[in-house]
A and B are shown apart, each in its own frame.
Chain A
């Protein structure tokens, strides 16, 4: 079965480091999303893409950036991580309104 993959699963880094969270899907979906989720809380959309070279900011303001050079790949980058960026980041793709989620990256910035 096709899937959506996120790496790393857990990441602990120091303040000021540049990081990239990877997200890939094998389903050929045009639409992809990044959500941020704090423990026990709802998901907030921070970035989305409707296809190659298309990226938009979501409802929740984020200092991260994304790129979509290939359909299957939608990485998220933080140029200078801060403790306030500590959170769970979930990547998803969709088709016909149905979202498929990755396992998430739990980011901790010390």
Chain B
């Protein structure tokens, strides 16, 4: 079964500091994609970053980067220089090539940013 596990229900970071959110997944597929989505208190989900499994290079989007460890099936999100606007629920998600885009989501990590 394909599963996505986020083991940290809540995390807290000081403004301007760096925080890492963990995600592990289980799959037997070779062609798959991993995502981190952010859901602020206003609740519109937005894509933070995306990683194709066939790419060895870790994806980066400004202050957001991932540590993709394919053998360990680990996909952590690093947020550098944390800002108050980063406070949100973060969901790790997975889909594979044959799924037609249907995503499987983890339970989420609630990130608080302290001023």
Chain A positions near chain B (C-beta within 8 angstroms): 31, 33, 40-45, 48, 50, 58-59, 88, 90, 92, 94, 97-104
Contacts and interface: CB of A to CB of B under 8 A. Distances in A.
B102 A90 contact: no
Interface stretch (B38-46, B63-71, B73-81): B38-46
A98 B47 contact: yes
Interface of B: 33, 35, 37, 42-47, 50, 89, 91, 95, 100-108, 110
Contacts of A99: 35, 37, 45, 47, 101, 103
Given A40-B110, A103-B44, A31 B103 contact: no
Contact of A50 (B47, B95, B100, B105): B100
27 contacts: A31-B100, A31-B101, A33-B102, A42-B105, A42-B107, A42-B108, A43-B45, A43-B91, A43-B103, A43-B105, A44-B105, A45-B102, A45-B103, A48-B102, A58-B102, A59-B104, A88-B43, A97-B95, A98-B47, A99-B101, A99-B103, A100-B47, A101-B37, A103-B42, A103-B44, A104-B43, A104-B44
B100 A103 contact: no
